[in-house]
Amino acid sequence: MEYEQSTPGLLFWIICIAIGIFYIATMWKVFEKAGKPGWASIIPIYNTIVLLQIAGRPVWWILLFLIPIVNIVIAIMVHIDISKAFGHGVGFGWGLALLGLIFFPILAWGDSQYQGPPQHG
């Protein structure tokens, strides 16, 4: 009996690469809109530090991303703060957290302007 191994085809990999390039370009634009260097969006860990700065959260929060369950809550909070920093509300922040491939391009190439980190109190 022959065993046929199923592997992703070329079209699958082309689509994955295209989505990756699109997401990099999107985050690059978001970083630039916030006055940060676009290249920072492609550096692992540093890109999270910059997102924390854009959101107005302390850099040490990066440690909270290492704690299971807590990291989900922190990620949602940071996305809501990023949304507010660009003049949007909590609902848009949830969109960034749950549907980033849709909402980050809206943030990047839409009319949104960076207004600075939101005030936390």
Over residues 66-121, the pLDDT tens digits come to 999 999 999 999 999 999 999 999 999 999 999 999 999 999 999 999 999 888 76
Residue 114 domain flag: no
Residue 1 domain flag: no
pLDDT digits (tens, 9 = 90+) for 29-43: 999 999 999 999 999
- Expressed as residue numbers, the domain containing 40 is 10-109
Residue 60 domain flag: yes
Residue 5 domain flag: no
Residue 4 domain flag: no
Residue 63 domain flag: yes
Is there a contact between 24 and 108 (Cβ–Cβ < 8 Å)?
no
SS3 category, 2: coil
Residue 121 domain flag: no
Number of domains in the chain: 1
In 3D, which of 60, 74, 56 has the Cα closest to residue 117?
A: 56
